[in-house]
Amino acid sequence: MPEPSGQPSGGHLRPPGSRRHEGTGRFGRPPDGVVGEPPVEHTDVLVVGAGPTGLLAALVLARRGVRAVLVDGKAGPTRESRALAVQARTVEVYDQLGLAEEFLARAHRAARVQIGPPGRPVVIDLAAAQRGQTPFPGLHVLEQSRTEELLVGALRAAGGDVRWNHALLDLDDRTAEPGGRVEALLSGDGAVSRLHARWCVGADGAGSLVRRSLGLAFEGVTDDAVFWVADLRGATGLPEDCLAMRAGGRGFGVFYPLGPGGHARVISIAAGPDVGPAEALATAHDDLGVGHESVDWFSTYRVHHRVAERFRHGAVFLAGDAAHVHSPVGGQGMNTGLQDAQDLAHLLADVVHGHVTHDALDRYERERRRVALRLVRVTDRAFGLLARPSRGTALLRRGFATAAAPLAARGVRNPVGRRVAGYVGQYRIRHHVASAPLPVWADDRVVGRRLLPTEENRPSLRSLAWQLHSYGTQPARPADLPDWIEGPHAFPADPAGRWRADRTYLVRPDGFVAAAIPTSGGFLDEAVLHTAFRAHHLRV
């Protein structure tokens, strides 16, 4: 769910809309009472914002042995439930980090989607549509507060540096100058300090100070409709084991199971901008058939559909809600931010360790901004169908429940249904090679997609390293292959034919397939392999 616009307390950057010359500038005047120059600290990466996106970025950097400082003006992890839908691909990311087992023990699984009234709902078996395509089919529900607790614990165990009550005051990218760094002015622990970093990751939410300091437009719209969200105890009229969607006479509701005993989240359209919990929940009871005993949390918000004009400006990157916000329909937002973090953190680590050149950093914006734009388009269409308060959309909602939903329920096992389920689960994301005709190393349908984790290959994927995989053959390791590229790891032939025995696959640290190298007689085509290395800016 998007964070409210505005900047956190404890500091300020230049006013929104003001631009520095070429995106850079000088530090603002230190707060009153500060005398002299604050001390300077040096690190590789400054991560601003300790929500799920920032925490995962810092965790991956720590696991990859990169110095990083994570700062946030809050006193600690969020206490509100906020975002809670965790898709299959995100659990795969957790699995690579060794966190899947702990996550699954905390989360509540929703294998199905129920559409329509309690007496005659249509049930779509999401897990069945995803089975065989991911080790973690279905939707997993865990409050953002508990997700942050999981990531904070893992970050501390990895020796990561997270600093609460540290607000960003000013940011200046001087990396275009000889020996220049990103310079940040921070306020925390009753003092002002300076931190110099090679790069900065802005993961500081929809009202991002980092984005505004760069003068980057946040392109899109804010919808007129006001929504309310409530976390309920003792909820009645709702299933406990699946996501539910229900249209009433005046609106609609989306219901997430949070746990047994009627622990559930309700999201619905508000009658007006000043709706309170009593009025909203009375409407939910009368219009949607949902009762409750108590309320843990209640909030209202407007939905934004926005994408930053750039995800990278010099040595400063944007990720998560700082880069893109959209409708909560489909539970995609936090998951997209976490994958931003994974992609970017591995890229930065590869540059630090000399595995790729600086030119490889262009990949982040090229890949992740395209994903965000597609997501905003799709969720906006879904939002228009389900959420906008008009007579026309109300008829569409009821029509979907009575006609389209039954077709969807019957189609979850056919190729189209599995494809849609893959997009919902975010494991069908593909990073296309911008070249025509395709080079030999890219002429395989799995290139640009994440490698399907299996019982056989999951241990190797947890190494967070570049590696070579073969399926159904055992190729020799090229003599000049650098030691930081693992493999070739040999796995059994794929009975489904997804991976070819006459190819050896170059796999990125984030689990995406970078190239498919022709292999014959136990040897890789080294000329094609080195062409792929050059295309991905690998230093070999």
**CA–CA distances in Å: residue 450 to residues 27, 93, 336, 367, 515:** 41, 10, 14, 13, 12
Q: What is the CATH number of the domain that holds 56?
A: 3.50.50.60
Do 184 and 52 belong together in one domain?
Answer: yes
Answer whether residue 359 is part of any domain: yes
Do 52 and 165 belong together in one domain?
Answer: yes
Do 444 and 363 belong together in one domain?
Answer: no
Query: How many of the other CB atoms lie within 10 Å of CB of 497?
Result: 9
Q: CA-CA distance, 139 to 35, in Å (whole number)?
A: 53
Do 340 and 456 belong together in one domain?
Answer: no
Do 101 and 184 belong together in one domain?
Answer: yes
**CA–CA distances in Å: residue 29 to residues 24, 34, 172, 298, 458:** 16, 9, 13, 39, 51
Structure tokens at 54: 């920032």
> How does pLDDT run along the chain (540 residues), one tens digit per residue?
433 333 333 333 443 333 343 333 344 445 545 556 777 999 999 999 999 999 999 999 999 999 999 999 999 998 888 889 999 999 999 999 999 999 999 999 999 998 887 777 888 899 999 999 999 999 999 999 999 999 999 999 999 999 999 999 999 999 999 999 999 999 998 899 999 999 999 999 999 999 999 999 999 888 777 889 999 999 999 988 899 988 877 778 899 999 899 999 999 888 777 899 999 999 999 989 999 999 999 999 888 889 999 999 999 999 999 999 987 767 888 999 999 999 999 999 999 999 999 999 999 999 999 999 988 887 666 655 555 555 555 555 555 555 555 555 555 667 878 888 898 899 999 998 877 789 999 999 999 999 999 999 999 999 999 999 999 999 999 999 999 999 999 999 998 889 999 999 999 999 999 999 999 999 999 999 999 999 999 998
Answer whether residue 95 is part of any domain: yes
Do 80 and 175 belong together in one domain?
Answer: yes
Do 332 and 449 belong together in one domain?
Answer: no
The domain total for the chain is: 2
Do 367 and 456 belong together in one domain?
Answer: no
Answer whether residue 76 is part of any domain: yes
Give the bridge partners for 450, in sequence order.
Answer: 512
Query: How many of the other CB atoms lie within 10 Å of CB of 209?
Result: 27
- pLDDT tens track for 47-72: 999 999 999 999 999 999 999 999 99
Instruction: Provide the residue count of the chain.
Output: 540
Q: Residues 6 or more apart from 403 whose CB is under 8 A from it? A: none
Q: Are 335 and 85 in contact (CB under 8 A)?
A: yes
The whole-model pTM stands at: 0.90
Answer whether residue 254 is part of any domain: no
Answer whether residue 345 is part of any domain: yes
- SS in 3 state form for 78-125? CCCCCCCEECHHHHHHHHHCCCHHHHHHHCEEECEEEECCCCCCEEEC
Phi, psi of 321 (to 5 degrees): -65, -20
- Residue ranges of alpha helices (H) inside 139-292 are 144-157, 209-213, 277-288
Q: What is the CATH number of the domain that holds 474?
A: 3.40.30
Q: Domain limits at 521?
A: 440-535
Q: CA-CA distance, 503 to 519, in Å (whole number)?
A: 5
Do 67 and 157 belong together in one domain?
Answer: yes
Query: How many of the other CB atoms lie within 10 Å of CB of 364?
Result: 20
Answer whether residue 8 is part of any domain: no
Do 85 and 200 belong together in one domain?
Answer: yes
Q: CA-CA distance, 153 to 59, in Å (whole number)?
A: 10
Answer whether residue 53 is part of any domain: yes
Answer whether residue 94 is part of any domain: yes
